[in-house]
Every structure is written in structure tokens, then in C-alpha cells.
Amino acid sequence: MSSVIKSWADAEDEIPQPEVTTNPDGTKTVISYRLNTKGQKVKITQKIKEVKVQERVHPSIAIRKNWSKYGKEKNTPPGPDTRTTQLGEIVELNLGTSWKEVEKQEEEAQEEKKLQNVQRIKCRICGGEHFTSKCPFKDTLGAEAAANELANAEAAAAQDGGDDGSMQNGKYVPRHMRRDASGNLPVQQGRDDSTTLRVSQLNNIVDEDMLRNELFARYGPLQRVTVVRDRDTGDSRGFAYVAFASEGLAEQALNELNGKGYHSLILHLEWSKKKK
Amino acid sequence: MRPIKLMGHERSLTQVKFNREGDLIFSVAKDNAASIWYSSNGERLGTLEGHRGTIWSIAVDLETKLCATGSADLSIKLWDVSTGECVYTFDMPTPVRRVEFSPDNKKLLAVTDQVMGQIGTITIFDINYEDVYNQNAEPSLVITTREDAKKVSVAAWTANGKYIIAGHEDGYISKYDGTTGAFIETVQAHGIHNTETNLLVTDIQLAPEDQSYFITACKDKCSVLIDVETFQILKVYKTDAPMNTAAITSKKDFVILGGGQEARNVTTTAESQGKFEARFYHKIFIDEIGRVKGHFGPLNTIAAHPDGTAYASGGEDGYIRLHHFDKSYFDFEYDAERTERAIASGAT
Amino acid sequence: MPNQTEEQYLKELEKEINLDDVDFSDLEAKYQVSADFGLDCYVVVDGAPVAPEAKVPILTKVLKKLFSTIGEVVEGEDGVYMPLENGMSKGYLFVQFKEPQMAEAAIKQLNGKKLDQKHRLLVNRLSDIEKYGVEGNIPDKFEEPSIEEIRDVGYMRSWLQDEAGRDQFVQHFSETVGVYWNKKKNEPEPAIEPRKGFTSTYAKFSPKGTYLFSVHPQGIQSWGGAEFLSCKKFIHQQVRLIDFSPNERYMVTLSPVPIQLPDSPQERAIFPFGPESNGHKLVIWDLITGEPSRTFALPPHLEGQKEMPWPLVKWSHDDKYCARQGPGALAIYDTTDNFQLLDKKLVKVDDIVDFEWAPAPVFLAGPKKDEGEHILSYWTPESSNQTARVAIMQIPERKVIRTINIFQVSDCKMHWQDEGKYLCVKVDRHTKSKKTFFSNLEFFKLTEKDIPVEKLELKDVVYNFAWEPRSERFITISRLDDGSANVSIPKNVISFYGPELQQKGKSSSAKYTCLKTVTDKHSNTIAWAPKGRYAVVATIAKNNGELEFYDTQYEEDKTATSTGNVNVTATKKNDSVKLMKQERFSGMTSLAWDPSGRFVAAWSSIWLHTMENGFKIYEFTGNLVRDESIDQFKEFIWRPRPASLLNAADRKKVRKNLREYSAQFDENDAMEADAATREAILLRRAQLEEWRSYRSKYAAAVEEKKKNEVQAELIEEIKEEIIEEKEEVIIE
């Protein structure tokens, strides 16, 4: 899927791309993620059915419905494609002059409801609501139970690819190392970073436009320019990622600008991914 | 209301539009391809490939036969909507900010940017609707920015192509004769409701029912409703953020405004994510009556379905969100409206 | 000589033109003739002592010395000439300077100079004496001076006559200042048309709400009456800080720019300050006359200081005395004696750090008096051979009536209870290693015999302390100083204290005990309702604003209302403190109770940041009644009220009839709300009608368009439908 989330530099470790699987009964399962208001990640599992609907419309619309697709959609089957078209979360539109209060109340009620659906922590030794390491029966029920559990967990992980994958064997597994829905370890695909430079020691006043239009204008057109910013204040953290059209251009920029001064600071440029 | 997310663009949206029947949505963004979508289910009909720069504007004729795109790559392209084929390219001296077909499909107006030493214009081309591959590359009319006015940022045709309405970067709105290009009058629509200094007019959309009045959007955090003939300001809608777009809905007497602080000026905490909102105002009572959340950046463009059953918003975040209204939306009424309806039904 | 003709000409002119209005300086300069006589070097000095001949030489010497400080006085008798009559000097003399500029300077600087207690010198130029002394120059006939007409600004307390007893407040946003009536849920009603460019910095009310002040580069302007008309101008260039005496009789202003007398005599005539004020920065004004009462130079240790302690002048409760603190001394002035230093001498207090007046007359134990005493407290830090000390002093007797010695002190804060019955001194102490800090609270019970002092020793450092008005209870916010400075962990403790339950027959002095504590908070602000009982404890921090509304007599109210005895000071139950409501307001920069204690306003000012600028008004219970976000909102100011005129009996009557009053108010509220709704509906109907009539002229076109619409047709399409959805939070 190609979509621009607010900043591609930190998008990766915030919200994973949605996964779509086709079920034998013709329905689709879409797993997507979002952050809730507390900054926790929420996994949304949607089961989607395609339905045929009949409608009475203007004749010209009927004709247009039968047009064949073109451009990037050429040869895609009829019906919405999940890569470009997805159903969003339900949003509320409470009309009225006092919409502000109504909205606030509903928001609170919703968050509360969601909290109830939250999976609680479960101890692997006694099943209580605490972390396994904090279990009061750790010593009495002993290592045996833990070992059993561990084995079970491993088996389960092997079987279904480890539930949500984040807590395999109770250990943290970085996202890019996790198994995907079909149980395979992901191959590093994603973005091609071979043309991306990391630019550091940037003055805080420098923004994307300045990089695009001033500093790297000569090496343009640029694929992407992202200044890494503080999540709370929006201030620049003094470094940026710049993706060039080609590796050659990137190299040229690296050679020519590394160590040069820009807005009172000496620039430092390097490949965003180490060359192999 | 469950929105449909349309994710075909890789950069910020610049304009979304419905065709006359409202079954198709046309969208352009700062990437190089326009997208066309079915509005009922969000399925993409196709993309229009060929531009080499930001596409600022897209227009579709009344018959949904031709579509025009104006781009920063110094060109306007005409496309066959049914095949996605580019049928003609007009070369332009400066980037094109707006394109719009005249209501009789015979003309196309283009707002050209005032850069690179060129004076901004509203350029009008005659469109050969029969033989679309054969167009006159020379404009039939060029309205250059008057000496006493600031650059034109947006423009639109009124009913039957009678007038051209232009929005300037200093908050003024001008009216020109649609045939001769003669200047008729101008009115200061923005910069008089508050003390804001950025007065760039960002959008002009005409009333869906008969194009006899229109709404503006402006960076001065206001939108105004203006009558085409009298050029009087009818209503003013005040918000708390710079506005990028405004649309008038049919069926209900609402207007939808979109905008927001530039992303880099906003502190982005987890809490504020997805909180960029489309704002609904009552067209007649000018009260703000609701908001729809969902975008991760300012709203750049909003289009209302001609039947008033849906609206689409395009954001700086690169997404289009298409909303089909619920029953509650149509049920909402002000006391005064209810009374009016009661009286009307009692009388008949 | 052209003199004759000119004089005639002038006389002619005088008939037509009011000479005071005309600036003759250019003509005077042009036709300056007196210079030919050299009179410009002379000044006439009146008001000198009348001395016997024998003393004249010494007097001459003194005066010559004085005038020599300004410029060189001509040697010999020509320099200072004091005429004699009957062996006595005549009380005036002539002084000749070397240069006319020196004479000019002497007039400017020494006119009005006090030679001693009895003699004030009047210095004038000799040419003026010539000018006005010559017969005919001054008309013989008395002409009524035109007295500036008194501008009637209306009744200064008109806002107190509001039938619904509403309070006023100021909204300051962008460049605009407006005064509004609080209408609870409804939009505030402007009391006057909001004024753009009203003040160059901030607006301020006097302590009892009579005047509203605006600050300008030239000085302060006061406004009053129902229409807020201009009252008085207080010329003080570049004034920065202003403060008032508690009864709003006097105003104190401070400017970083020293007062400088204007050069031209015309300007000097309308300049409010005399030569003795030259170079001063601090001014005390009489608010009624609009004239300066006294001016001071800034104490040398404060010159060039970036942050100015303010107020620099502190007032006794009745405006009778005011005091300034200098190095090692207090200067106390008697306002009823022309702001003279009390007993003409300073109160020496070595190393004094801070002082506070009791905010009310203090009734000390002993023979009963009709009027309470003026009391102030001060403290001095530890020095090599002395402990730190807190002292209570009686004024004007300057008698220290109580001291306590304390040690290992890093700081002290003195908190007077509003009735002047108690003084709490918050003593921040350090351990011997000076690594960690903790607080003691020392309570002086002023009304008891010998002023007993109770000590409350705490493990925490107390950051905030606030007495409940007219009560013996208080709230503290404290935190255990464990050496770690991570402010993001909420570990502030809110504690509610009150005197321990009293038992019959015991001594009246009760110990303070903690009624309730709330731990792990970020709270940093305490605001008691002006009439007590309710308090807001708030967190005002970047990105983290919270208000908690407490009722401190919750249980009592349930049990005690039947007896009608609401004014209980001692608490009966420990669970009487109840959190009523918690509200978030993340952009909040300040909060304030209205003077009646019914509402709390909290606001977010652009002076501090640009997040969520605007204000919110809460009921005392914490219910949000109004939420306005306003661009560039600067400040919200409740208009203070003077003390109530009701006596105890009146108040009791009101309390007794509370039920009837409240029913009446409820009805008023409903009517008000209805009126507002009704108005809104009417307005909307009018708007709708207007719109429909506007649209009617286009009706035909719309009809036409509808005709062209085509018949619909049936199609089939594929849509997605969500049949199942679940959400779960992932815990990593």
C-alpha cells in the first residue's frame, strides 16, 4: 500500500500497515492498527463481506458503472480494492448548537466501552491479573508450571504464528522480526532506502521546504524530505531524511554538501542505511 | 457515519470534486496522477497519468465526458473520462492553480500563477467538444490581473457562464463578464471580520441548486456567502483556524468548511491525532453545528455531493475521506425550520 | 525704544486672546530685551528666615553654599544680597549667578526647596518680578479663574445596584478590553462597548472595584461610573507596575525611567511633580485628587535589578500607614501626616528579609478595645551569632510584642489569616547536611494571651499554603524532598488541616490536625472561595491543567443545617472534605473566584502560550457553565466588590429566608434563559424568512432545472460491509 502517513520517518514504528487475508467463505479479514487517545496501540480486526446492492440511478451513471478501469487500476477486478479503499472507523456527527458538549460525553462513553474490551494481563503461572514475574506463587508453583506454560506457548506460537506476535514467550520481539499472519518471518521489503541520506546537525529553523527548495534544490526532484520532529512540540530535532531520485544524485549531494555550512551549522550527511 | 478512506494519493490532496450526478469523485494531489473514484463504494475507476508536477486543480464537464487538470508542470491536460486517455495538452507560461469548465461545456477557465515574472491571469480556452483531440492552443480570452488588484488565487463560472468570479490573495472578490472578460465589480469579503492579516482566498464554490450565490474560504479564518448578482455579502461564518475550502450542501441548508493550522505549527500529541475536522455550519443561522474528525492534517479540499447525500474531504495527510450521511443528519432541524415546515404542511 | 509700542500691542491682544492659551515662547525668544540688563543672572528668593542682623552673615553663607551647588554665585555682596530693615532681614534675598543658565537651573531645582522644617524657599527669576511686579502688568480687578468643569462620570458603584446581583468581569483579548456581565450559561452581556486599544499593556481594577485602570506610555488613566468614563490621568512616563492601598485611597506606580522635570516653564506648570521628585521612580498617588502624595527614589540595591519585588510599598489594613523595606531597616510613613516618616526615624531591623502587615485590625488579648491594633510581622535570617527570628511589632508604638527563634532556616513565608487572628509562618528548614529540605509551620495566635505559638513539624516541604477566609482551617500542598528532582512523577500532597475537635472545658487553643490528604498529585495552586468552605486546588502547568473542586464542610452541611448553625469553624467529622468535581483544562494559565464565590473563572492567556486561548467559567461545584475559546485572549479579571454593608442581623435574616430567595432566583434564571431562547428563536425565524425571500427570486430557475432531470434506471454494484469488528489494546 502506498500512502503517506504524516511523517514516514516515524510512521514505521507507530502504526503497522493493515493486513488483509481472504477467508474460504469469500469474506475478507482486515487487521489494522491505530493509536487510541492514551497512545496505546489498538488492533482492529474487521471481517468484511462484499455485498451486491441494487440501486435506482440516472442512466448515465449506469453506463459509467460499466466502464473498464484504467491507469493504475487497469486489470484489477471489479469491486473496491483494499489497497486504496478502506472503510474507516465510525465517526460521529452530532448536529446541534451544543455539539461540543455532546461530543465530549460520547467520546468519554466510548473510551470507557473500549477499555472494557481490553485484554487484561494474565499471569502464566496462576492466571491472575498481574505479570508472571510478579506472581506471588512463583516460588511455590515453581518453575515446573512456568516451563509447561513456556512449552505450550511455544507450541502455540509455532501453530498460529503467535497471536499478536508482540509478546512471544514473554519476550519482546521487535516488529520487523515478528511473524506475520501466515507465520512467516517477514522479508525486509518495504521502502527502498538506498537513495536516502540522513542529514544531521541541521539548524532547528530548517524545515522541509527549505531543504527541498534551497539546500537540495540542485539535486532535485526529491522523492521525500522529512525533518524529524519532537512529537510533542513539533520542533525540529536537528536531523532529516532526504530521499533522492537516484543513488547517483544522492551520492553527489553527499560528496558535495557533507561538512559544508548551512544556517550557522556544519552539515553532516550520511547514507540512511549503511552500504553493504 | 462510517467514512470510506480513499488512499490512492501519495501526497497532500489539492482538490476533490464530484461530477454532476455525483457518482464519480475526481481527486488531484501534489503527486503527479489524478484519481477517479466511484462515490457509492469508493472503488477507483482509474488514474490519469502524464503530469510531471503537482496537480493543483481538476474539473469535469457536465456530461462527465471530459476532464481537465491544471498542474504546476506548466500545462493543462484534457482527458477522456471513460478511458483515462490524455486527449490534449495546453502549454502554459506559469503553473495553473485552478481549472473549471463553463456550464455549457464550451469553455475552460484557468487561473495562472503570478510567478516567474508573469502577471497572473484568468485564461479562457474554447473547448472543441466534438473533436476533442483537436483543440485551439490559443486562449480565446485572457483576463490579466488589474493593476489595482492583487493576484487571483481562485476563480469560478456562474450560471450559464454569465460571470466569472475571482478570489484575490488580499481577500477581495471580483466579478467579470463571462463573455467579454470585462471587469464589473469587486468587494472586500475578507479581512473585515477580524484582525487576521493573511487574506488569501483559498476556495470559491457556487450554490449547487442554481449557482446564484457562492461561498468563499479564506486564510483569515472566515468564510462568506455572496450573492452573484448584487454582490452583497449574505452571511459570514467565523472559525478558529485558517480555512482552505468551503462547500455548500444541497438538501440541507448547511455549509461545510475545512482547514486547520499548518501541521508544523501544531503540537502533535497522540491525543490530537486525527483531530483535524470538517466543520458544519448552518448556512442561514451561521451557527457551527458539528464537526467530523478523522484527518491527520489540515483539510485542503471539500466537495459536497450534488444531491446532498455525501461529502468528500481531502487532507494534507494524503487521504480522501468520503462520508455518506446518516439518517440523523437529515433529521436534524432547528426549531425555526421545524415550525416553518409545520406551517407549510398545514397550509397545503 | 520699541518697548512702548509693543506693550500697547500686547494689551490690545490680551483683550482678544486668553494669554494662557498662547505659546509665546518663540516671540519671547525673539524679542528678549531683558538680556540687555543682565537680569537673567538674578534670582529672587522668598521664604528665607527673618534673622537679626547679627545672624545675617551666617545665613548668607548657608544660602550661598546652597546656591553654589547649582552654579557659580558671583563673589561679594553682589552675589548674595539680603536687604535689611530695622535690624532684621526681610525674609528675601537676591542671588546673582555667573551665567543665566545657572539661574535657570536654580529656579528649576530649588524652587520649593525646604530649607528647614519651617522655611520653604521660593525661587523666581528677577525678570518675572519685574514683569509681574510692575503696576498695571497684573490686572487689579479679580477675575474668576475658570475652574475646570467637574465631569460627572455617574455613580461610581452603579454595578453593585444590578438587580440580579450579577458580577462584572473584564475580558482582554487582542488589543481589545471589554467589561461584561456574567450571564452564566448565556453569552456574557457587554456592560460597555468593548474598547480597542484601551491599554498598552494590561488593565487593572482597584481593590474594591471602583476604578478600572489602563496603562499607557505616558502614565495611568482611571475610568469609572456605569459607562466607564475617564476619571483621572496620572502622568508617569513609561510606568510599568501599579499597586493600590487596600481601601483604594492611594495608588503606587513604578517606572524604570526616573522623573525628569521638563525644561520649559510652561510644561513645568502642568507637570505633577516638583523639583524634589527629580530622579525618583516610585510614586504614591492620591486617587481622589489625582495628585502625587509622595515620591521615592528606588533603593540603591534594587537599581538595575531585573526582577522587581512588588509591591515595594505595603499598606496597613486601613491605609493609615505604609511601609517600605530598605537594607537593615523599615521605613514606615503616616499617610495622615503628609506621608512623613513615623516619628521621623527609621525602624532599624538588622538583616530584615521580609515583612507583612496584618490584613485586618488585630484585637490583642487584654483590656477590651474598640479598635484593633496595627500589627506587622517580619523575619531576619540566621547570622554568625544569632538564630533566625520572626517578630511581631505593634505600630505606631514600634514595640516588638512577640518573637520566636528558629534555626537551620533556608526561607520563611508569612501568611496572615484574613481577619488578622492568626499568622502562619512557613519555615523552610534544611537538614544539617543541607542536602534535603523540610518545612515547619509556626502559628501565632494573636488574639490569645501572650500570643502562644504552635508548631507543626512536617517531613515534607510545603510549597503552597492558604488560609480559609474567616476561619482557622488551611490547605497545604507539599512534597517529600527525597533528593530526586523528576517533576514528571506526581508526588505532591494536598493536605486539609483544621483545629482539632474541641472538648468542653479545655483551653481554647486547639491543635491543628490533618483532616484529609490527597497524594500523588501535580497540583500547585490553591484558591479558596472568598467566603470560605469551597476551594479549588489546581494544576497549572504546561500541557497539564486540572481543577479539583472541594467542599470542606460536606458532612457538616448534612448534619448541621437543621440547627441553622452554618458558621461552624471546628469540623465535626474527618470525612467532611469531599472532592466534588475534577475538570481538565490543559491550556490553563490562571484561575480566579468571582467576588461572590459563586463562580470560578479559568483562562489561558496568550501572554504565556498560544494553546487553547480563551476562558471557562465553572460553578463553585465544578460544573462548566461557559467555555469560550478566543483568539489572542490575554486576561480575565473579575471586578472586585467592596465589603458587604449588611450586619450580622441582616445576614441572619437572609440566611433564614434563603429558600424564598432561591425560589425567586430560580424563576429569574428560568425567565432569563427563556428570554434568551425566545430571542434566539425569533432571530432565527427572521433569518429564515429573510433567506427564503432572498431565494424566492431564483425559484423559477430551480424549477427549470428540475424539469430537465432524467428518469432513473436500475443498476447493481458491489459494496463492502463490515460484518464483524473487534478492537483490542496491545500491551507491549
Q: Average pLDDT in the A90-112 region? A: 72
Task: Among C108, C133, C158, identify where a domain stops.
Answer: C133
pTM (two decimals): 0.50
In this structure, the answer to whether residues A240 and A201 fall within a common structural domain is: yes
Query: What distances in angstroms separate CA C45 from CA B106, C93, C102, one per listed residue?
Result: 98, 5, 14
Residue C51 half-sphere exposure, CB side, CA atoms within 13 Å? Answer: 18
Cross-chain Cβ contact B288/A233 below 8 Å:
no
* Inter-residue contact B13 to B301 (CB < 8 Å): yes
CA distance C387 to C593: 40
In this structure, the answer to whether residues C67 and C26 fall within a common structural domain is: no
In this complex, which of B41, B234, B334 lies closest to C720 when CB atoms are compared? B41
In this complex, which of B41, B285, B339 lies closest to C687 when CB atoms are compared? B285
Number of domain units in chain C: 3
Please report where in the chains the cell 500686547 appears, as a residue. C10
Query: Given this model, what pLDDT does residue C3 score?
Result: 54
Lowest mean pLDDT of C69-78, C424-433, C545-554, name the range: C69-78
Q: How far is A235 from chain B (nearest CA, A)?
A: 8
Cross-chain Cβ contact C718/B43 below 8 Å:
yes
Query: Given this model, what pLDDT does residue C59 score?
Result: 84
3-class secondary-structure state, position C86 = coil
Quick check: is C158 in a domain? Answer: no
In this complex, which of A44, A61, A78 lies closest to C718 when CB atoms are compared? A78
Quick check: is C348 in a domain? Answer: no
Lowest mean pLDDT of C232-246, C459-473, C572-586, name the range: C572-586
Number of domain units in chain A: 3
Which pLDDT band holds residue C569 (cuts at 50, 70, 90)? very low
Interior angle at CA C553, CA C552 and CA C556, nearest 5: 160
CA distance B322 to B306: 14
- Residue ranges making up the domain that contains C23: 1-31
Query: Given this model, what pLDDT does residue A160 score?
Result: 45
Find the distance separating the first CA and the last CA of chain B, reported in whole Å: 34
- Residue ranges making up the domain that contains A249: 196-271
Quick check: is A83 in a domain? Answer: no
Cross-chain Cβ contact A52/C716 below 8 Å:
yes
Lowest mean pLDDT of C66-70, C115-119, C234-238, C705-709, name the range: C705-709
Q: Round the CA-based radius of gyration of chain A to a whole number and report it.
A: 25
CA distance A250 to A242: 9
pLDDT in tens, C421-442: 999 999 999 888 878 889 999 9
Q: Taking the domain B4-347, which CATH number applies?
A: 2.130.10.10
pLDDT in tens, A1-31: 444 444 444 444 556 667 777 777 777 787 8
What's the helix, strand, coil split of chain C in %, to 5? 20, 35, 40
B215 shares contact with chain A (CB less than 8 Å):
no
C174 shares contact with chain B (CB less than 8 Å):
yes
Quick check: is C220 in a domain? Answer: no
Query: Given this model, what pLDDT does residue C98 score?
Result: 83
A164 shares contact with chain C (CB less than 8 Å):
yes
User: Which three-class secondary structure string do you get for chain B?
Assistant: CCCEEECCCCCCEEEEEECCCCCEEEEEECCCCEEEEECCCCCEEEEECCCCCCEEEEEECCCCCEEEEEECCCEEEEEECCCCEEEEEEECCCCEEEEEECCCCCEEEEEECCCCCCCCEEEEEECCCCCCCCCCCCCCEEEECCCCCCCEEEEEECHHHCEEEEEECCCEEEEEECCCCCEEEEEECCCCCCCCCCCCEEEEEECCCCCCEEEEEECCCEEEEEECCCCCEEEEEECCCCEEEEEECCCCCEEEEEECCCHHHCCCCHHHCCCEEEEEEECCCCCEEEEEEEECCCEEEEEECCCCCEEEEEECCCCEEEEECCHHHHHCCCHHHHHHHHHHHHHC
B273 shares contact with chain A (CB less than 8 Å):
yes
Q: How far is C732 from chain B (nearest CA, A)?
A: 17
Q: Which helix (H) or strand (E) holds C597?
A: none
Using an 8 Å CB-CB cutoff, list chain B residues near A3. 7, 9-10, 318-319
In this structure, the answer to whether residues A220 and A156 fall within a common structural domain is: no
Query: Given this model, what pLDDT does residue A185 score?
Result: 54
Using an 8 Å CB-CB cutoff, list chain B residues near C722. 2
Query: Given this model, what pLDDT does residue A274 score?
Result: 63
Cell of B302: 471539500
- Give mean pLDDT in consecutive 10-residue pieces for chain B, a chain of 348 residues: 89 92 92 90 90 92 91 92 91 92 90 84 90 88 87 90 91 91 91 85 90 91 91 90 91 90 54 69 88 87 92 91 89 78 62
Chains touching B by CB (3 or more pairs below 8 Å): A, C
Q: How far is A73 from chain B (nearest CA, A)?
A: 5
Please state, as a whole number, how many other Cβ atoms lie within 10 Å of the Cβ of residue A146.
Answer: 16
**Based on the number of CB atoms within 10 Å of its own CB, is C450 exposed (0-12), middle (13-18) or buried (19 or more)?**
exposed
For B46, nearest residue in chain A (alpha carbons): A70
pLDDT in tens, B139-163: 999 998 888 888 899 999 998 888 9
Contacts of C37 (CB under 8 A, 6+ apart): none
Task: Among A46, A73, A100, identify where a domain stops.
Answer: A73
In this structure, the answer to whether residues A216 and A261 fall within a common structural domain is: yes
C718 shares contact with chain A (CB less than 8 Å):
yes
* Inter-residue contact C396 to C320 (CB < 8 Å): no
Cross-chain Cβ contact C701/B269 below 8 Å:
no
Lowest mean pLDDT of A139-153, C117-131, C184-198, C371-385, name the range: A139-153
User: By C-alpha distance, which of B204, B208, B214, B205 is closest to B235?
Assistant: B214
Using an 8 Å CB-CB cutoff, list chain C residues near B269. 543
pLDDT at C27 over 80: no
- Tell me the residues of chain C between 368 and 397 that have a Cβ less than 8 Å away from chain B: none
Q: Which helix (H) or strand (E) holds C11?
A: helix C3-16
pLDDT in tens, C279-317: 899 999 999 888 899 999 888 888 877 788 888 999 999
Q: Average pLDDT in the A190-213 region? A: 82
Task: Among C74, C103, C133, identify where a domain stops.
Answer: C133
Query: Given this model, what pLDDT does residue A158 score?
Result: 45
Task: Among A177, A204, A230, identify where a domain stops.
Answer: A177
Query: Given this model, what pLDDT does residue C715 score?
Result: 67
Task: Among A177, A212, A236, identify where a domain stops.
Answer: A177
Cross-chain Cβ contact C731/A119 below 8 Å:
yes
B8 shares contact with chain A (CB less than 8 Å):
yes
Task: Among C115, C133, C151, identify where a domain stops.
Answer: C133
Lowest mean pLDDT of A173-177, A261-265, C266-270, name the range: A173-177
In this structure, the answer to whether residues A203 and A163 fall within a common structural domain is: no
Please report the ipTM that was assigned to this predicted complex: 0.82
Quick check: is C656 in a domain? Answer: yes
In this structure, the answer to whether residues C51 and C125 fall within a common structural domain is: yes
Cell of B233: 455579502
CA distance B29 to B34: 7
Look up residue A215 and give its DSSP letter. I
* CATH number where C118 lies: 3.30.70.330
In this complex, which of B4, B12, B289 lies closest to A96 when CB atoms are compared? B289
Cross-chain Cβ contact C720/A53 below 8 Å:
no
